[in-house]
Structure 1
Amino acid sequence: MSTMDESSLEERILAGLDDEQRTVATTLTGPLCVLAGAGTGKTRAITHRIAYGVHSGVYNPQRLLAVTFTARAAAEMRTRLRDLGAGSVQARTFHAAALRQLQFFWPQAVGGALPAVLDHKAQLIAEAARRLRISTDRASIRDLAAEIEWAKVSMLTPETYLTHAQGRGEPGGLEPVAIGRLFQAYEDVKTDRNVIDFEDVLLITVGILQEDPRVAATVREQYRHFVVDEYQDVSPLQQRMLDLWLGGREELCVVGDASQTIYSFTGATSRHLLEFPGRYPTAQVVKLVRDYRSTPQVVQLANSLLAARRSGGPAADTGWSSPLELIAQRPGGPVPAFVECSDDEAEAAAVAARIKALVAAGTRPSEIAVLFRTNGQSAAYEQALASVGIGYQLRGGERFFARKEVRDAILQLRAASRSVDDEPVGQLVRDILATLGYTAEPPQSGGAVRERWESLAALVALADDLVAARGASDSGFSLADFVAELQERSVAQHAPTVQGVTLASLHSAKGLEWDAVFLVGLSEGLMPISFADSAQAVDEERRLLYVGITRAREFLNLSWSTARTPGGRANRKPSRFLDGLRPDSQQHSGRSSGSGTGTSARGKRGRKTLELAACRVCGSMLSSGAERKVGRCQNCPPSYEEATFDALRQWRLRQAKEADVPAFVVFTDATLVAIAEARPQSPAELSQLAGVGPAKLERYGPAVLEILAPDSDS
């Protein structure tokens, strides 16, 4: 290739990048930290950087390693690099890269055959529990597996687990001591079976790199440059392996967004991203804030959600970084809709009706998603969509390449690729899949027939896309090339788009996007989830909702229900995160992101809908119900007069004796403290305190106000 051709190729690689993306793409050496907001084209920036470095001769493609966190993301990166003429660059997950190294170095570093790698921990954890005579069920085993994974990626052993388990709760219903014993028993079972798990792949690789200088030198000679995507999700173990790969060198580019840190429960931490400039003082930091994905209306909502966060106390504030403020680049679109429904069934029906209208207006079902906090919420939406004749796919369900019709199709295509003439690939795929039931128009029936057709249609659409992307190259694009692509995607579980509405949890939606997104079940207890009982945990729930909002390109629908079942008690409240965002709500001063629910107010049904969320003394988040009732954290001293509190307590004791009930039935201690500290002077002021409902206000209000009156003896 001539110098002119090379120059023009490099310019084509850089063409279409904005100024910040171009800076990323042309900064090829030294430490580089890219802070990339949602929808700002980070994958485009780093793949063009790699391709530009390869074509300009700065990078040897065999000596650069790009790592990310999911097989799908790695496969997408490889596809983009191949389209940019840099297909020989390795793009892998941390686990895949470590496993490849472990398989190569095991014989010389350890000897013998590498043990088999477990696909799932459940069976061995159940065996470990039986050895210890610990009762478990499927749910507890799942929780225990997650806890052991967290411990291992945090580089803890069964011996050191207990000292780091404070505040972790009781996963699987077991105390930390019991989990430590189970952890050890699980390791013993693995040894007996001669197997290792996914975390062991990283741990053993790290151990070999630390202990064997020859292996470490070989790896460092092989890989001279590293790119790490989604760096906010790096665990301590993954960071340790990255440090060992680098061996003190600084040829590292990291890309991430602390506002999208949603996997802390797995050991991921944004600390490494936030501390990167400190670790590498010469690092260049580039911020990508131009949002090309979403409309200004969606972007504004996302920015407002993060901006509404208030102090959650020193510990939480340390882990919360100032969010990137996105700048929308798309034309305006519809205003996000906020919908309150009477119950879960009505909410699902309303969402299905809106989706049906979108499809009728021309939006493809594959460009619509319903996102929820827990997988258990999906059933109502599966039923509601089926009732209106809309197909759907459940993300996290059966894997695309495991479906029988997909396996049969790949076999047919592979067989045909050995004998067909030079014919257009798109038409060939259609003709071959027609023998399996593919038709140009979808079937009128639903169920299994429709699902089968959608799988085959997804393969046809993928063939068309690949022909459009690669068919113009000098070598063209053959059926054999398509079969090879399918094989690679099957290994990476990089499924094509299926024509159906996506149903997914918010966590599994990370990295994806749709034209229309429905965020459902946005009520207290689900968003934030009820077990988010610390400021840090609630901050993560806020980030999770942010991820959900930023999945939408154009249409965004946020909904919640006031009751679980039809005719049930309407005691649910919309998520605290929606306060100030909904048209009929306002952000209250003194509100904390953390727990709360802002200053007290009466709902239209006469019930309290909001409680104090921030300590009125120090401003930190209030994490327990008792603290929220008092309006003060337990670390701050009480502000009531002892005589006043004693008078209230003596009055409560008399009332309890007269009614022959426990004292807390009259007022709990927390409510009594709140009354003593607030010293309300009217029924209206007293009614604003948590724990003082209409009945208690009527029964006890006059006596309480008399005790608190300025001229009383107290």
Structure 2
Amino acid sequence: MSTDELTSTDELLDALDEDQRAVAEHLTGPLCVLAGAGTGKTRAITYRIANGVLSGTYNPQTVLAVTFTARAAGEMRSRLRDLGVGGVQARTFHAAALRQLSYFWPSVVGGSLPRIAEHKASLVAEASGRLGLGADRTVIRDLSSEVEWAKVSLITPDDYAARAARAAREAPGGHDHATVARLLSVYEEVKSERGVIDFEDVLLLLVGILLEHEEVAAQVRGQYRHFVVDEYQDVSPLQQRLLDLWLGERQELCVVGDASQTIYSFTGATPRFLTEFTQRFPGAPVVRLVRDYRSTPQVVDLANQVLARAGRHRDAAAVELLAQRPSSVPVRFETYDDDLAEARGVAERISALADDGVPLNEIAVLYRTNGQAEAFEQALADAGIGYLVRGGERFFARREVKEAIAMLRAAVRSSAGQPVTEAVRDVLSSVGWSTTPPAARGAQRERWESLNSLVGLADDLYATRQATMAELVAELDERAAAQHAPTVAGVTLASLHAAKGLEWDAVFLVGVCEGLLPISLAEGEAAVAEERRLLYVGITRAREHLQVSYARARAVGGRASRKRSRFLDGIWPDGPPPVGGRRMSRRAAARMRQESFAEENPADVELYERLRAWRGAVAQAVSKPAYTVLHDTTLQAIATAKPKDLRQLAVLRGIGATKLEAYGGQVLAVVRGEEVDVDAWLRR
């Protein structure tokens, strides 16, 4: 999409709700956005940047948007390109700092920037050995985390013992604080001798250069004039110090965060900078995004209840979510006899959801510790259900993906003039991709899924940008650098920490019992409060289907001594299961959604019914179940939004590139009130 296609900033802003629009219209001066889960914060800030560029307030090259993961930064850049805004820098703190440090190092320090050590473990192990502390792998890992915490908290070895004691931070490995302080000092010596730096040094060294060389600071501030920081509740003191130096005396800063999603305090992250923003910038507007477009009222209600029971530990900056989606199925609460029964029960429920039309890649199993994954991997494998363990082999490291990208790159010239959707299919067909997946599971199916995800990405880019093969290859290169993989079919298995920032149609929160959530290691009120927020994050990953479960015993026949999490006291139902026994039928769930929609949106019912009639005709013509054409919730979203063109239709949940291409024109015709001859349309 080019900027010429956006005739006015009003057209851009019309796509936002009242609160999101308030964010997008505030272009200068400090701004604090308190954004609850699922409230469209990324949408609000990308539209804000686009509005600033299209209105002439911002030069895109002078905007720096900072977030915390390469994946999130990649998504932000992609969304900005879709809005016709190129040139904006969207990076992680480390990526932005490394770019600046690499540029200035030769002229300020001289020579090449020292090599960055990929991992601390070997350096910490050597420092530990010099102090006679041993080399136990678990202890080394914990000591490495402590080194990182100290550095991002701007704590020197000399200050560590006092600061750690004041923070009630237990020294790892059974050591005392004075011993860890000595290790911090020796660790720095080891790095110096090896001629390497660590990731925290990238920020620390840049901070030092900006402080000591005013001409460098002036050059950086001349380059970047407007700053946006996402996930601001996760900022560390070191990152805040760098941000302060980037800003200088200016106040062109928009921060976005959610205190209720602070789950990384153990790494040095602190919500203090978010909650105290208006103290630093008196008079700065505070916009609360509370309309939850992600989750059903049932899911939102549970999330709100979990936070409400935090009592005095609930932060004043926390938002209470207001569900915007139609009512749907109840949250399920399940108790199992043991861990094996829980894993098998979850696999059975996933199979039922898949039969009801929920794609496997829209289902996730979330747990507190990675050690819980094994039972669910086995249960899913036994049930013949594909899965992906988040944190396993990276997508772009797979052999078939590397080969496919190389072939796509080689085909850039020869495919000129051919739609990228066709060209990609032609290229990948020669390496094993086909329109239908192989019947076999295992490695053969995984290879097909990888290739099929590249086909799906090509479809998406063509639908949104009319992308060429060259642009697809450039997108893949950027995604590979950011480890922003395309969607691959299969149930996601992930820890609650790894799930932050993601969402699925169906989520299974497993092992929600004392000792796991809160985890037994959580000592003190602050640590337990963070465990509550972790549960909140897990709940808010679900769009529609949510099951919360635990097992009374660990092993088959073991003692049933486990108790459900204290965070669900007063919430966990003690009565009978939902309507229909253990599983509400698809028909009953659909009827509930329709009745709720009619009650809450009476003005949109007539269009909704026309859309349902059209969908029924399409389903009959193509011999498929109606829900596989478009889901009820998608039809309801269309009836409410009444999109006028494909661009407005494309932003609605449930409208991917494939469905947009297949049904977009028909849907818009129905919205306009036109009669649609489905058979004639399909013959086109």
Q: TM-score, normalised by structure 1?
A: 0.79
Sequence identity, in percent?
A: 65
Paired residue for 2:132?
A: 133
Paired residue for 1:50?
A: 49
Is 2:320 the partner of 1:325?
A: yes
Is 2:442 the partner of 1:447?
A: yes
Q: What letter is aligned with 1:169?
A: E
Q: What letter is aligned with 2:76?
A: M
SS in 1 for 2:498: coil
Q: Cα distance, 1:246 vs. partner?
A: 0.6
Q: Any conservation in 1 of the 2:234–2:269 contact (CA below 8 Å)?
A: yes
Cα RMSD of the aligned pairs, angstroms, is 1.5
Paired residue for 1:307?
A: 308
| In structure 1, C-alpha distance between the alignment counterparts of 2:446 and 2:176, rounded to whole Å | 45
Paired residue for 1:625?
A: none
Q: Cα distance, 1:184 vs. partner?
A: 1.5
Paired residue for 1:228?
A: 229
Is 2:384 the partner of 1:389?
A: yes
Paired residue for 2:528?
A: 538
SS in 1 for 2:471: helix
| In structure 1, C-alpha distance between the alignment counterparts of 2:347 and 2:137, rounded to whole Å | 32
Paired residue for 2:594?
A: none
Q: Any conservation in 1 of the 2:275–2:317 contact (CA below 8 Å)?
A: no
Is 2:340 the partner of 1:360?
A: no
Q: Cα distance, 1:172 vs. partner?
A: 3.0
Q: Cα distance, 1:204 vs. partner?
A: 0.6
The within-5 A match list for 1:622-641 is none
Is 2:550 the partner of 1:551?
A: no
The within-5 A match list for 1:592-671 is none
Q: What letter is aligned with 1:386?
A: A
Is 2:245 the partner of 1:244?
A: yes
Q: Give the number of the structure with larger relative contact order, counting CA–CA contacts within 8 Å between residues 6 or more apart.
A: 2
Q: What letter is aligned with 2:521?
A: F
| In structure 2, C-alpha distance between the alignment counterparts of 1:178 and 1:447, rounded to whole Å | 49
Is 2:470 the partner of 1:503?
A: no
Q: Any conservation in 2 of the 1:6–1:55 contact (CA below 8 Å)?
A: no
Change (3 A) 1:322 1:221: closer
Q: What letter is aligned with 1:289?
A: V
SS in 1 for 2:158: coil
Is 2:11 the partner of 1:12?
A: yes
Is 2:404 the partner of 1:409?
A: yes
The within-5 A match list for 1:142-161 is 142-161=141-160
Q: Cα distance, 1:161 vs. partner?
A: 1.0
Q: Any conservation in 1 of the 2:33–2:255 contact (CA below 8 Å)?
A: yes
Paired residue for 1:565?
A: 555
Q: Cα distance, 1:320 vs. partner?
A: 3.0
Residues 128-137 or 349-358, more deviating: 128-137
Q: Cα distance, 1:6 vs. partner?
A: 8.7
Is 2:206 the partner of 1:205?
A: yes
Q: Cα distance, 1:7 vs. partner?
A: 7.7
Paired residue for 1:600?
A: none
Paired residue for 1:703?
A: none
| In structure 1, C-alpha distance between the alignment counterparts of 2:397 and 2:162, rounded to whole Å | 43
The within-5 A match list for 1:335-346 is 335-346=330-341
Q: Any conservation in 1 of the 2:513–2:562 contact (CA below 8 Å)?
A: yes
Q: Cα distance, 1:322 vs. partner?
A: 4.9
| In structure 2, C-alpha distance between the alignment counterparts of 1:92 and 1:459, rounded to whole Å | 24
Q: TM-score, normalised by structure 2?
A: 0.82
Q: Cα distance, 1:282 vs. partner?
A: 2.2
Q: Unpaired segments of 5 or more residues in structure 1?
A: 312-316, 472-476, 586-714
| In structure 2, C-alpha distance between the alignment counterparts of 1:140 and 1:106, rounded to whole Å | 35
Paired residue for 1:179?
A: 180
> In the alignment, which of 362, 368, 377 is matched to residue 372 of structure 2?
377
Q: How many corresponding residue pairs?
A: 572
Q: What letter is aligned with 2:240?
A: Q
Is 2:265 the partner of 1:270?
A: no
Q: What letter is aligned with 2:123?
A: L
1:581-609 Cα deviation digits (max 9, x unpaired): 11129xxxxxxxxxxxxxxxxxxxxxxxx
Q: Any conservation in 2 of the 1:95–1:198 contact (CA below 8 Å)?
A: yes
Is 2:533 the partner of 1:517?
A: no
| In structure 1, C-alpha distance between the alignment counterparts of 2:278 and 2:140, rounded to whole Å | 40
Q: Any conservation in 2 of the 1:259–1:321 contact (CA below 8 Å)?
A: no
**Greater gyration radius:** 1
1:421-450 Cα deviation digits (max 9, x unpaired): 421211221221122221222222222112
| In structure 2, C-alpha distance between the alignment counterparts of 1:468 and 1:83, rounded to whole Å | 11
| In structure 1, C-alpha distance between the alignment counterparts of 2:309 and 2:190, rounded to whole Å | 48
SS in 1 for 2:563: coil
| In structure 2, C-alpha distance between the alignment counterparts of 1:356 and 1:435, rounded to whole Å | 33
Q: Cα distance, 1:105 vs. partner?
A: 1.1
Q: Any conservation in 1 of the 2:6–2:12 contact (CA below 8 Å)?
A: no
Q: What letter is aligned with 1:424?
A: P
Q: Any conservation in 1 of the 2:34–2:317 contact (CA below 8 Å)?
A: no
SS in 1 for 2:189: helix
SS in 1 for 2:411: helix
SS in 2 for 1:127: helix
| In structure 2, C-alpha distance between the alignment counterparts of 1:154 and 1:464, rounded to whole Å | 44
1:273-319 Cα deviation digits (max 9, x unpaired): 000011101211111000000000000000010001123xxxxx4x8
| In structure 1, C-alpha distance between the alignment counterparts of 2:231 and 2:428, rounded to whole Å | 37
| In structure 2, C-alpha distance between the alignment counterparts of 1:320 and 1:14, rounded to whole Å | 31
Q: What letter is aligned with 2:499?
A: A
| In structure 2, C-alpha distance between the alignment counterparts of 1:360 and 1:299, rounded to whole Å | 25
SS in 1 for 2:544: strand
| In structure 2, C-alpha distance between the alignment counterparts of 1:209 and 1:322, rounded to whole Å | 32
